[in-house]
Amino acid sequence: MRLMLLGAPGVGKGSQAVLLAKALSVPHISTGDIFRCHIVNNTELGKEAQKYMDKGMLVPDELTVSIVASRLKQDDCQDGFILDGFPRTINQAVFLDKVLDELKMQLDMIINIVLDDRSIINRLSGRRICAKCGAVYHIEDKAPANEGICDLCKGELIQREDDNEETIVRRLKVYHEMTKPLIDNYKGRVKMVDVESNKSFEVTTQKVFSAVGLKSAKVEA
């Protein structure tokens, strides 16, 4: 099954993608991971991407798509894959269409994980992370026993810089502006399923699994 997962920052898209990939036994393809892999292995594409990153510039769409294309050509992608957070722009989507055409592949479904902006802002702005062990808390939904202190290791809980309200609002605005044309690009061509993530993470997993025809979301961790 060839899937694409869409979702704003804070909806838990990445974690859902990991579980779904495991359940379907297909690779989970996130551009961040592939970039890191190319850079670590010092490939030509990796070197090219690094040049832009060193200058603090965005990697051009064409290069990003080449990197994804090289990944999609690998053996383990022939029976399916999950694209996570890619394409990000309409430009990337158009390139991706070409690549998939060349590979004689078609997307089977797009899963759009949705949550209203207010809930996303609450979720992200209340998030606290242990500076020592990385455990994740939420001031309302998953508060530590002692305020500001990690239950697990007694480390200090901090708020990530990205998680302040002003930054979140800006990130959401950018996300919506970029995603609207993406959705339009696939409308009527690829089956699209909206999954509400307004309940718990587990409930969302269950909905994502049923969207692809899997019965149970019980996956070995």
Q: Which residue has the tokens 């997962």?
A: 5
Q: Does the active-site annotation cover 128?
A: no
Q: What 3 state SS string does 19-88 have?
A: HHHHHHCCCEEEHHHHHHHHHHCCCHHHHHHHHHHHCCCCCCHHHHHHHHHHHHCCHHHCCCEEEECCCC
* Smallest separation (angstroms) from Zn ion to the CB of 148: 12
Q: Which of residues 48-107 bind Zn ion (CB under 5 A)?
A: none
> Residue 87's closest CA among 105, 111, 65, 63?
65
Which among 2, 71, 123, 127 is annotated as catalytic?
A: 127
Closer CB to Zn ion, residue 37 or residue 136? 136
* Smallest separation (angstroms) from Zn ion to the CB of 130: 3
Closer CB to Zn ion, residue 115 or residue 130? 130
Q: Does the active-site annotation cover 154?
A: no
Which among 47, 154, 160, 170 is annotated as catalytic?
A: 160
Q: Does the active-site annotation cover 160?
A: yes
Closer CB to Zn ion, residue 103 or residue 153? 153
Asked if 130 is part of the footprint of Zn ion (rule: CB under 5 A), the reply reads yes
Which among 2, 13, 123, 207 is annotated as catalytic?
A: 13
Closer CB to Zn ion, residue 7 or residue 144? 144
Q: Does the active-site annotation cover 88?
A: yes
Q: Do 121 and 165 contact (CB within 8 A), yes or no?
A: yes
Q: Is 103 helix (H, G, I), strand (E, B) or coil?
A: coil
x/- mask, Zn ion, residues 140-169, rule CB under 5 A, reads ----------x-xx-x--------------
Residue 137 neighbours by CB under 8 Å, 6+ apart: 127, 128, 129, 130, 143, 144, 150, 157
Helix %, strand %, coil % for the chain, to 5?
Answer: 50, 15, 35
* Smallest separation (angstroms) from Zn ion to the CB of 146: 12
Asked if 135 is part of the footprint of Zn ion (rule: CB under 5 A), the reply reads yes
Q: Do 77 and 105 contact (CB within 8 A), yes or no?
A: no
Catalytic residue positions, numbered: 13, 88, 127, 160, 171
Interacting residues with Zn ion (CB under 5 A): 130, 132-133, 135, 150, 152-153, 155
